Amino acid sequence: METNPKTWVIVGASRGIGLELVKQLLERGEQVVAAVRKLSAAPKLFDLIESQKAQDKCTAEQCDITSDESISEFVGKINDAVNSKRMKLGNIVLNAGVLQYPNRATELSFADFALHLHTNTIGPIICAQKLLNISIDAPPPKIIFISSDSGSASQFLEFEDGFGAYAASKSALNQMIRHMAAELRRSEQKEARDSSFGASSWGGGDRHGRH
């Protein structure tokens, strides 16, 4: 990790939106930290880094968004790089998520519901919170969450069958983003921003569709 320019941090970069974002950032010459749930399960990320000869531009790190310990270890590495002046913290994108289909409200188990909440709501918020606290004097310019219109409170998508837990977890994420943004405005820090995507590809990945 180099001092200049500011480094993008992408959490959930093994495939889909996260991987494509890393690709486009590297094509622009940006510095990137790409975090994945498990390094050994992210061959597409390493293929991308190799194909673009971006070993000096992109650092792959492990961050299991469902584990507080893993989040803390990941943020600790970012903190060390920032404090040692090896890295300037840039925009942060929280893209990690899961859709284990079907997850109907009338059928799902306690464990299945908890999986969606931990992966899509709790983990991203806690990770963002910890990253925000690295440097009060120089916070990241933006924190971007990848959400979904499945979680919209104003436009309920009744036709979506089997998305109950996923929709609930994204709705909870949206509310937490609003509270985080309000709290940051009150503390005169940067605003958290919600970037909602209505059509996300959750195919592939591990058996839970995680990335």
Residue 149 sits in a domain of what CATH number? 3.40.50.720
The answer to whether residue 202 is domain-embedded is no
- The DSSP call for residue 119 is I
In DSSP terms, 32 is beta-bridged to 8, 58
DSSP 18-72: HHHHHHHHHHTT-EEEEEES-GGG-HHHHHHHHHTT-TTTEEEEE--TT-HHHHH
Q: Which range marks the domain in which residue 183 is found? A: 7-196
Average pLDDT over residues 140-159: 77
Q: Which of 4-13, 63-72, 97-106, 193-202 has the lowest mean pLDDT?
A: 193-202
Average pLDDT over residues 75-103: 93
Average pLDDT over residues 51-75: 97
The answer to whether residue 209 is domain-embedded is no
The band of 59, judged by pLDDT with boundaries at 50, 70 and 90, is: very high
In DSSP terms, 143 is beta-bridged to 92, 192
Q: What pLDDT score does 191 carry?
A: 53
The answer to whether residue 182 is domain-embedded is yes
pLDDT at 140 over 70: yes
The band of 164, judged by pLDDT with boundaries at 50, 70 and 90, is: confident
pLDDT at 103 over 90: no
Instruction: Tell whether omega for the bond before 141 is within 30 degrees of 0, i.e. cis.
Output: no
Range from 27-31, 134-138, 144-148, 198-202 that averages highest in pLDDT: 27-31
Q: Give the CA radius of gyration of the chain.
A: 17
High-pLDDT (> 70) share of the chain, %: 82
CB-neighbour burial class of residue 15 (10 A; exposed 0-12, middle 13-18, buried 19+) = buried
The answer to whether residue 201 is domain-embedded is no
pLDDT at 161 over 80: no
The answer to whether residue 207 is domain-embedded is no
Are 21 and 10 within 8 A, CB to CB?
Answer: yes
Distance CA 148, CA 166 (A): 9
pLDDT, greater one: 138 or 121: 121
The answer to whether residue 90 is domain-embedded is yes
pLDDT, greater one: 84 or 3: 84
pLDDT at 150 over 80: no
The answer to whether residue 160 is domain-embedded is yes
The band of 200, judged by pLDDT with boundaries at 50, 70 and 90, is: very low
Average pLDDT over residues 150-164: 70
Average pLDDT over residues 57-61: 98
The answer to whether residue 104 is domain-embedded is yes
pLDDT, greater one: 164 or 157: 164
Element (H, E) at 202: none
Q: What pLDDT score does 187 carry?
A: 81
Cα Dmax for the chain:
52
Average pLDDT over residues 54-83: 97
Distance CA 97, CA 150 (A): 13
Based on the structure, what is the number of domains in the chain? 1
Q: What pLDDT score does 105 carry?
A: 85
Give the neighbor-by-neighbor strand order of the sheet with 58-62: 58-62, 31-36, 7-11, 89-94, 143-147, 192-196
DSSP 121-169: IIHHHHHHHHHHTT-SSS--S-EEEEE-GGG-SSS--TT-TT-HHHHHH
Distance CA 71, CA 61 (A): 11
